[in-house]
Amino acid sequence: MQKQNILNYVDSHVESFLDDLKAGLRIPSISSDPEHKPDMAKMADLLSGRMNSLGFQKVQTIPTPGHPAVYGEWLHQPGKPTLLIYGHYDVQPVDPVELWTSPPFEPDTRGKKLYARGAVDDKGQVYMHLAAISAWLKSENKLPLNVKIVLEGEEEVGSEHFEELVKTHRELLASDYILISDTPMLQKGLPGITYGLRGLAYLQLDVRGSSADLHSGSFGGIVANPLNALTKMLAALKDDSGHVTVPGFYDDVVEISAEEHANIARLPFDETNFAESIGAPVLSGEEGFTRLEQLWARPTLDINGIWGGYQGPGAKTVIPAEAHAKLSCRLVPNQDWRKISDQVASFLKSIAPESVDVTVTAMHGGRGYLAGIDSPSIQAAKSALAEGFATEAVLIREGGSIPIVPMLAETLDAEVLLVGFGLPDQNAHAPDENLDLENFHMGIRSLVILYHKLSEIKQV
């Protein structure tokens, strides 16, 4: 392999790789919003077009009852392993849109960052793979191993239909390694391999009192207020030490081993800087664990939104008829999101006052993921990242979720490798989401090398 040639190709084509990405970023592929269904199809078309132009075969848009997935393959290295690259082309909504410095679907370069919804989560990282593949094919006329790409359109809404797709297309997706770039690095300049993700259980709580809003003078004091009831119930979910009080919540949690505790303690994490970077006065979490442990290896529960009652200008003396909240638990591997959802629902119902009607709906969820850290593929990723970023890579876990990961690994009986190039201040899911342009460049270089390193692992 003429590695230097390929890397030179990357270096001299970064601008055109960025132009490709920008074309993808201009399409508002928000999976949760039915109004954007046509944009989902547009985005899928753009990606399949790109795969065709790379010379991939069997390029297809695979329909699902929700949004389609895009697939393509290049399988001209018999005897070499097969790599499946998974990514997602859907993005989160953009609200509050007034807080964006530039419009979310008009990619804008400011300083060394490219701003747009999806810039890093996950279009930016998907296009890094397409760029690395293009560099290989343009300069070597081949890839070092067999490559399949599958890009999902529903990751941000819980991969509802993708599971079924994976089951029915098991043969098509069959592979030795699954490579996913959809995670951040611990900090700028410190490339990492993520060996653990948290799971998720997402719920909605609806509390109903009277059949219509009531005058708070005529009724206040003799009728329950759903907002008071809801906030009291929510407040009971956690104690002052940051423990979740739901009975059974911690039953299946795997404790952090002494070895892992020591490994995590060796990673750089500056609490004051971190708090400052997110504009928080101080950090806060479950007592008895370090911050990275709280974030990566401990489950938690958060209220994501509360609504009900009067929210307009001025004052309105009213007892609302109903109150609502969305809440979610980040889970650790071995916790079952359905069981946790049931436990949270039962607990909320058990503490609900009789004076209101309470409904708890489990909306969606996913399992956490934990991989071994000694596999040859992790070694390959470590050395590829060390070369690509000219610095030692670290092993990290993450607090976020990619619910499909454990299912993909099991169904395809393949190792998952999470090598992401985001940064903690990338504003994923928030206004001014951005991609670090140096990471884009070094990430593509690392992927070029990683494909090669993976191709050299002896298959057993």
Q: Cα dihedral sign for 371, 373, 377, 383?
A: positive
Q: Mark the segment that binds ligand BES (CB under 6 A) among 182-190, 212-220, 283-291, 339-347.
A: 182-190
CB-nearer residue toward ligand BES: 230 or 393: 393
Rounded Cα gap, residues 146 and 172, in angstroms: 13
Site membership for ligand BES, residue 401 (CB under 6 A): yes
Which partner, ligand BES, Zn ion, none, binds residue 27 by CB below 5 to 8 Å per kind? none
Using the rule CB under 6 A, which residue among 66, 72, 87, 184 binds ligand BES?
184
Maximum Cα–Cα distance across the chain: 82
Shortest spacing between CB 91 and ligand BES, in angstroms: 9
Q: How many residues bind Zn ion (CB under 5 A)?
A: 1
Q: Which long-range contacts (CB under 8 A, 24 or more apart) does 46-54 make?
A: 47/89, 47/126, 47/151, 48/72, 50/20, 50/130, 51/130, 51/149, 54/130, 54/133, 54/134, 54/137
CB-nearer residue toward ligand BES: 73 or 156: 156
Site membership for ligand BES, residue 183 (CB under 6 A): yes
Q: What strands, in cross-sheet order, belong to the sheet with 108-110?
A: 108-110, 113-115, 434-436
Rounded Cα gap, residues 95 and 431, in angstroms: 7
Rounded Cα gap, residues 308 and 364, in angstroms: 23
Site membership for Zn ion, residue 398 (CB under 5 A): no
CB-nearer residue toward Zn ion: 123 or 441: 123
Please name the residue ranges forming H helices in 160-245. 162-168, 170-173, 216-219, 226-235
CB-nearer residue toward ligand BES: 177 or 296: 296
Which partner, Zn ion, ligand BES, none, binds residue 153 by CB below 5 to 8 Å per kind? none
Residue closest to ligand BES when measured from CB atoms: 400
Q: Cα dihedral sign for 155, 157, 161, 167?
A: positive
Which partner, ligand BES, Zn ion, none, binds residue 107 by CB below 5 to 8 Å per kind? none
Tokens of 230: 């809801």
Which partner, Zn ion, ligand BES, none, binds residue 403 by CB below 5 to 8 Å per kind? ligand BES
Residues 6+ apart with CB under 8 A from 31: 40, 66, 67, 90, 91, 153, 154, 155, 156, 157
Using the rule CB under 6 A, which residue among 299, 400, 406, 443 binds ligand BES?
400
Which partner, Zn ion, ligand BES, none, binds residue 400 by CB below 5 to 8 Å per kind? ligand BES
Pairing of strands 199-208, 300-308: unpaired
Site membership for Zn ion, residue 90 (CB under 5 A): no
Q: How many residues bind ligand BES (CB under 6 A)?
A: 16
Rounded Cα gap, residues 291 and 118, in angstroms: 27
Site membership for Zn ion, residue 121 (CB under 5 A): yes
Using the rule CB under 6 A, which residue among 108, 121, 432, 436 binds ligand BES?
121
Rounded Cα gap, residues 323 and 302, in angstroms: 17
CB-nearer residue toward ligand BES: 83 or 91: 91
Shortest spacing between CB 260 and ligand BES, in angstroms: 18
Site membership for ligand BES, residue 260 (CB under 6 A): no
Tokens of 422: 């985001």
Tokens of 161: 């239909």
Q: Cα dihedral sign for 175, 408, 158, 443?
A: negative
Rounded Cα gap, residues 180 and 199, in angstroms: 17
CB-nearer residue toward ligand BES: 207 or 292: 292
CB-nearer residue toward ligand BES: 377 or 427: 427
Give Cα 310 to chain centroid, integer Å: 34
Which partner, Zn ion, ligand BES, none, binds residue 184 by CB below 5 to 8 Å per kind? ligand BES
CB-nearer residue toward Zn ion: 91 or 179: 91
Rounded Cα gap, residues 169 and 164, in angstroms: 8
Using the rule CB under 6 A, which residue among 200, 325, 395, 423 binds ligand BES?
200
CB-nearer residue toward ligand BES: 130 or 229: 130
SS3 61: strand
φ/ψ bin of 368: left (φ > 0), alpha (ψ from -120 to 50), beta (otherwise) = beta
Which partner, ligand BES, Zn ion, none, binds residue 436 by CB below 5 to 8 Å per kind? none
Rounded Cα gap, residues 341 and 205, in angstroms: 11
Site membership for ligand BES, residue 122 (CB under 6 A): yes
Using the rule CB under 6 A, which residue among 39, 73, 108, 156 binds ligand BES?
156
Q: Mark the segment that binds ligand BES (CB under 6 A) among 68-76, 140-148, 150-158, 303-311.
A: 150-158
Site mask, ligand BES, residues 359-378, x = CB under 6 A? -------x------------
Which partner, ligand BES, Zn ion, none, binds residue 118 by CB below 5 to 8 Å per kind? none
Binding site for ligand BES (CB under 6 A): 121-122, 155-156, 158, 182-184, 200, 366, 398-403
